[in-house]
Amino acid sequence: MSKGKDIKPHIGIFGRRNNGKSSFINFLVGQDIAIVSDHAGTTTDPVKKSVEIFGIGPAILVDTAGIDDSGDLGEKRIAKTLEMIKNVDCAIILIANNQFGDYELDLIEILKYNEVPYLIVHNKSDIARLSKETIAKIQQVSAAEFFDFSVKNPINKDVIIEALKRTIPKTAYQNPSLFGGIVKPKDIVLLITPIDSEAPDGRMILPQVMAWRDLLDNDCICMSVKETELEDFMKLGIKPALVVTDSQAFEFVSKLIPQEIPLTGFSIVFSRVKGNSEKYLEGTPHISNLKDGDNVLMLESCTHQVSCEDIGRQKLPNWIKKFTGKEISFDIVSGLSNLPANISEYSLVIQCGGCMATQKQIINRLKTAINEGVPITNYGMAIAYMYGIFERATAPFRK
């Protein structure tokens, strides 16, 4: 399952086997997209489906295996289900037949740890209504909203949708501006976009496209050149209010852009809305503290074909070794695969810009490292630091 390739809000459906999770999803989207069976354990790996929810917009519903699965294979299914919690913005706990016990309590604790808001739906109310005893159990441990519901008699569908809209964080579907508060209408912003072997044929990479669109939304005047034409552009006498460059060109670009013109990088811009910019700022200088034998973890939030110019796998590790003069080992985790269990053994974690992941996915991805006291940074800040322009490149966002 490719979890890092869709930046729409993710809504996970969790519960025991045969509680009707797949039927519930099919009902919400109005079509049969999840396998439905009377046999418990039909859903194995998490399954995603796009849906349009009025008031939220495009979203991803995630159908998961039962939290009460059994056997060796069942344990693996449960592990995948629980791992998915780190990647959802909101959850629906589906219960049935007034079963609310240890499975649900454990699930709620994991949701709370990962700061995932949730609501509880008692399904199959046409067979058994939600009892006063179950309501009391829920209220003892949770302040979440809960509802009685039946797919066969869905009289309160709109009520549940409204509750979902109240529960899911607005930041999950109302993307904060990349440049809000940094630029103003009519500002000229220059985007410097190198074209190398990593660039897709015939189009811009996603961070550049998203930056361009956000600047247009902020009523700015956008201009773009490759770094090889930057000197020619500067001869035109146009003074941009802000220059944004690909981090790999920091060294070259910083020499051509006068100090009075604010300069930053695409990856640094994304740190405002993807990840934890305060912890990035705090953790970046730890690059200078790296020692021989240290391990550094590189986190890519997308998967792509690797080339000799790959920033995370080739260039950054080589730059860090050269900057520190130390023998350092690097591990790579791509997509949103599980992080190493021994995260505390790393001296530094470096996250990519995160354009292909949701804010929640990046934050939860970094949570373990932060809790273990491991310094974190991102690609752009790390590169700016090693080129000696860290303060300049982050200055527009420190305000």
Of 49-58, 301-310, 339-348, 386-395, give the lowest mean pLDDT range.
301-310
One-letter amino acid at 264 equals T
Q: Please say whether the beta carbons of 19 and 151 come within 8 A.
A: no
| 265: phi then psi, degrees, rounded to nearest 5 | -125, 160
pLDDT at 197 > cutoff 60: no
pLDDT at 305 > cutoff 80: no
Q: What is the pLDDT of residue 48?
A: 84
Mean pLDDT value of segment 91-96: 96
Based on the fold, state whether residues 46 and 95 are members of the same structural domain: yes
Q: What is the pLDDT of residue 397?
A: 86
* Residue ending a domain, choose from 147, 172, 197: 172
Higher pLDDT, 3 or 61: 61
Based on the fold, state whether residues 212 and 345 are members of the same structural domain: no
Based on the fold, state whether residues 388 and 329 are members of the same structural domain: yes
Question: CATH number, domain at 68?
Answer: 3.40.50.300
Based on the fold, state whether residues 160 and 215 are members of the same structural domain: no
Q: What tens digit of pLDDT does each residue of 137-168 get?
A: 999 999 999 999 998 888 888 898 899 999 99
* Residue ending a domain, choose from 208, 235, 269: 269
Place of tokens 């500067």: 234
Q: What is the pLDDT of residue 399?
A: 61
Who contacts 350 (Cβ-Cβ below 8 Å, separation ≥6)?
Answer: 296, 297, 298, 299, 312, 316, 376, 377, 378, 379, 382
Based on the fold, state whether residues 132 and 155 are members of the same structural domain: yes
Q: What is the pLDDT of residue 87?
A: 87
Based on the fold, state whether residues 164 and 45 are members of the same structural domain: yes
Give the helix/strand (H/E) hosting 368. helix 359-371
Look at residue 333 and tell me if it is in a domain: yes
Who contacts 142 (Cβ-Cβ below 8 Å, separation ≥6)?
Answer: 108, 120
The pair of three-digit structure tokens given for residue 275, joined into one six-digit string: 């990840």
Name the burial class of residue 353, with classes exposed (0-12), middle (13-18) and buried (19+) by CB atoms within 10 angstroms of its CB: buried
Mean of all residue pLDDT scores within the chain: 87
Mean pLDDT value of segment 227-237: 95
3-state secondary structure 5-17: CCCCCEEEEEECC
Give the helix/strand (H/E) hosting 380. helix 379-386
* Residue ending a domain, choose from 205, 235, 269: 269
Q: What tens digit of pLDDT does each residue of 343-399 get?
A: 999 999 999 888 777 788 888 889 889 999 999 999 999 999 999 999 999 998 886
Q: What is the pLDDT of residue 201?
A: 62
Give the helix/strand (H/E) hosting 331. strand 329-333
Look at residue 383 and tell me if it is in a domain: yes
Q: What is the pLDDT of residue 353?
A: 82
Q: What is the pLDDT of residue 53?
A: 81
Predicted TM-score (pTM) above 0.85: no
* Closest among 148, 142, 150, 146 to 163, alpha carbons compared: 146
Look at residue 34 and tell me if it is in a domain: yes
Number of domains in the chain: 3
> What is the residue range of 293's domain?
275-398
Beta bridge partners of 84: none
Look at residue 215 and tell me if it is in a domain: yes
pLDDT at 265 > cutoff 50: yes
Give the Å distances, CA to CA, from 18 to 22, 38, 40, 97, 244.
Answer: 9, 7, 5, 11, 52
Based on the fold, state whether residues 235 and 289 are members of the same structural domain: no
Look at residue 219 and tell me if it is in a domain: yes
Q: What is the pLDDT of residue 244?
A: 97
Q: What is the pLDDT of residue 38?
A: 40
pLDDT at 323 > cutoff 50: yes
